[in-house]
Amino acid sequence: MATTDLDLDPDTHDLVVRDGELQIQRDEGEVVAQRIRTRLRTWRGEWFLDAAFGVDYFGKILIKAPSLEQVLAEVREQIEAVPGVRRIVQLDVDYDAAGRILRITDGVVETDAGLVTLEA
């Protein structure tokens, strides 16, 4: 596992460039948190290099009457697949099936670098 990743802007999710240089994220815990956010924001099949990467939103979440257990299982599976994640300590979500909105309201993940808080 790499110890550095490119830094992403928390609002736009774009790469951060300062003085013409790509910024590198050096905090290993933040690297894992960034990888989790990236994975959860990627729809399965969206990334051309790995069609199995990302959340199966169409198959498991944005279906007619999905159960909260099914949704949480998919989210947990995606988080646990991120390199550096040891276990999910806490995962609280706000799920509106009718509005098709899923938001992590509180989450803590144990990583190789220690505990990481997941933000909504």
Quote the distance between the C-alpha of residue 115 and its chain's center.
Answer: 15
**Of 28-32, 43-47, 62-66, which has the strongest mean pLDDT?**
43-47
Give dist(CA 36, CA 80) in Å, integer: 9
Higher pLDDT, 14 or 73: 73
DSSP string, the chain: --S-EE-B-TTT-PBPEETTEE-EE--HHHHHHHHHHHHHTSBTT-STT-TT-SB-IIIIISSSS--HHHHHHHHHHHHHTSTTEEEEEEEEEEEETTTTEEEEEEEEEEETTEEEEEP-
pLDDT at 25: 60
Q: What long-range pairs does 85-88 form, CB within 8 A, spacing at least 24? A: 85/32, 85/36, 85/109, 85/110, 85/111, 86/110, 86/111, 86/112
Whether 2 shows a pLDDT value over 50: the answer reads no
* pLDDT band at residue 5 using 50, 70 and 90 as cut-offs: low
* Residue-wise pLDDT tens digits, 56-111: 999 998 888 888 899 999 999 999 999 999 999 999 988 887 787 888 888 999 99
pLDDT at 4: 46
